[in-house]
Chain A
Amino acid sequence: GENVEQHPSTLSVQEGDSAVIKCTYSDSASNYFPWYKQELGKRPQLIIDIRSNVGEKKDQRIAVTLNKTAKHFSLHITETQPEDSAVYFCAAGGIQGAQKLVFGQGTRLTINP
């Protein structure tokens, strides 16, 4: 089955700097890679996703890149702000109907003012 590894487990950056979180996956059949942001005690919220037919996707300060050959994808947050502090999860799954997602271990991002 699919296995997703996420690094780093914790990340601390100065406000205004960029943050990068990386994930690798094992199943070459996976073709859908969402990123979720979870604040303490709340639900995970989808912040950006990418499908395997695309190498990069950007939404304002957030971007995701995908390298299918190497089976890794990354989340990039630029111009970080204190409200970006949260736990971020990557996941891998399929797009044929509703398929299960396998989540990474999570990254606790702290933005220092």
Chain B
Amino acid sequence: GAVVSQHPSWVICKSGTSVKIECRSLDFQATTMFWYRQFPKQSLMLMATSNEGSKATYEQGVEKDKFLINHASLTLSTLTVTSAHPEDSSFYICSASGLAYEQYFGPGTRLTVT
């Protein structure tokens, strides 16, 4: 099946710093990638949808200037959490979709902001 990787798997940063998370599709070309946030014992909340070469579409309530998304190639999308604060601590998961409609998830990145 399709393989999606994410890096790093976990990161601890200080309040006010920025963190970049990478999402890669390893064996297929991802025309669309999705970024989710998942708080403990909660569901996956879609943050944004990104298509290769175009600007990301953010869900209502998600600050696009705080969560910068770049989808520069068909195999790589990045999420940068700028000026991170403790309330941004969460599990961030990406998913990738090719020509079909199935979404394949990355392993997630656990962000802790101190």
A interface with B by C-beta (< 8 Å): 32, 34, 36, 41-46, 49, 89, 93-106
Contact = CB atoms under 8 A, between A and B. Distances in A.
Contacts of B8: none
25 contacts: A34-B102, A42-B108, A43-B105, A43-B106, A43-B107, A44-B44, A44-B105, A45-B105, A46-B102, A46-B103, A96-B101, A97-B32, A97-B101, A98-B32, A98-B97, A98-B98, A100-B34, A101-B46, A102-B46, A103-B43, A103-B44, A103-B45, A105-B42, A105-B43, A106-B43
A95 B43 contact: no
B102 to A, nearest CB: 7
A49 B46 contact: no
Interface in B13-60: 31-32, 34, 42-46, 49
B43 A44 contact: no
B104 interface: yes
